[in-house]
Amino acid sequence: MSEIINENELDMMELTDEMLEEIVGGKKIVATGNVKVRTGPGKDFAVLGYLNKGDSLTYDGASEKDYRGVRWYRVKYHGSFGWVSSRYSKKQ
């Protein structure tokens, strides 16, 4: 039997890429240019790493807008979560 997990509990879990893909249905974010992966949804957050044009990451379905109105997607990045700007990426 499947256990229902709320969003707060999901943030606390260590998810493998396979588990996350099963939950969100294999959604991806694809870089449309060179893009920074950040610790939060905005350009003022620290940089975790970089994606080159065409690179993709698993998208967990969460997104937020920053103070400028730019949408950011939460993605699985090196065993953790990061955020990618919609200005330099697209959902696939």
Domains located in the chain, CATH noted: 7-91 (2.30.30.40)
Query: Does residue 90 surpass a pLDDT of 50?
Result: yes
Whether residue 67 contacts residue 43, with contact meaning beta carbons closer than 8 Å, is answered with no
Of 6-20, 52-66, 72-86, the one with minimum mean pLDDT is 6-20
Question: Hey, how many other C-beta atoms are within 10 angstroms of the C-beta on 29?
Answer: 28
Cα 44 off chain centre by:
17
Whether residue 68 contacts residue 32, with contact meaning beta carbons closer than 8 Å, is answered with no
Q: How large is the average pLDDT for residues 30-34? A: 95
Ramachandran assignment for 78, one of left (phi > 0), alpha (psi -120 to 50 degrees), beta (any other): left
User: Given pLDDT bands bounded at 50, 70 and 90, which one contains residue 5?
Assistant: very low
Whether residue 10 contacts residue 56, with contact meaning beta carbons closer than 8 Å, is answered with no
Q: How large is the average pLDDT for residues 68-75? A: 95
Whether residue 54 contacts residue 88, with contact meaning beta carbons closer than 8 Å, is answered with no
Of the two residues 56 and 23, the one the predictor is more confident about is 56
pLDDT digits (tens, 9 = 90+) for 34-49: 999 999 999 999 999 9
